[in-house]
Amino acid sequence: MDNRAIGVFDSGLGGLTAVKELKKLLPNENIVYLGDTGRVPYGSRSRETIVRYAKQDIDFLLKKDIKMVVAACGTVSSTLPKEFSSKLPVPYVDIVLPAAQEACAMSSRGRIGVVGTNATLKSNAFGKAMRGIRGDIHVYGNPCPLLVHLVENGMIEPENKITSLTVQMYLEPLIQEKIDTLILGCTHYPILYETFNRLLDYKVTLIDPGRCAARYVRNILMKDGMIADRQEAGTTEYNVTDETETFNKTASIFLGEQVTGSVNRVELL
Ligand code: DGL
Check residue 269 and give its pLDDT: 75
Separation CA 62–CA 54 (nearest Å): 12
73 CB near ligand 1 (under 6 Å): yes
Separation CA 70–CA 213 (nearest Å): 8
Mean pLDDT of the chain: 96
Check residue 129 and give its pLDDT: 98
Separation CA 266–CA 269 (nearest Å): 10
Per-residue pLDDT band at 260 (split at 50, 70, 90): confident
Cis peptide before 27 (omega within 30 of 0): no
117 CB near ligand 1 (under 6 Å): yes
Q: Are 5 and 65 in contact (CB under 8 A)?
A: yes
E runs forming strands in 194-268? 205-207, 236-240, 263-265
Average pLDDT of span 35-58? 96
Per-residue pLDDT band at 140 (split at 50, 70, 90): very high
pLDDT of 237 > 90? The answer is yes
Burial level of 65, CB count in 10 A (0-12/13-18/19+)? exposed
pLDDT of 93 > 90? The answer is yes
Distance 264 CA to ligand 1 centre (A): 21
Check residue 261 and give its pLDDT: 86
123 CB near ligand 1 (under 6 Å): no
Per-residue pLDDT band at 153 (split at 50, 70, 90): confident
Average pLDDT of span 84-107? 98
Phi, psi of 212 (to 5 degrees): -65, -40
Average pLDDT of span 150-161? 92
Separation CA 44–CA 53 (nearest Å): 13
Check residue 246 and give its pLDDT: 85
Nearest in space to 112 (alpha carbons), one of 122, 93, 94, 99? 99
Check residue 106 and give its pLDDT: 98
Distance 13 CA to ligand 1 centre (A): 9
In the set 104, 144, 186, 212, the catalytic residue is: 186
Nearest in space to 21 (alpha carbons), one of 212, 185, 194, 188? 212
Least confident of 95-99, 113-117, 245-249, 262-266: 245-249
| pLDDT-above-90 percentage for the chain | 93
| pLDDT-above-70 percentage for the chain | 100
- Our answer to whether residue 212 is catalytic in this structure is no
Separation CA 127–CA 115 (nearest Å): 11
Distance 94 CA to ligand 1 centre (A): 13
75 CB near ligand 1 (under 6 Å): yes
- Our answer to whether residue 186 is catalytic in this structure is yes
Check residue 185 and give its pLDDT: 98
Distance 149 CA to ligand 1 centre (A): 10
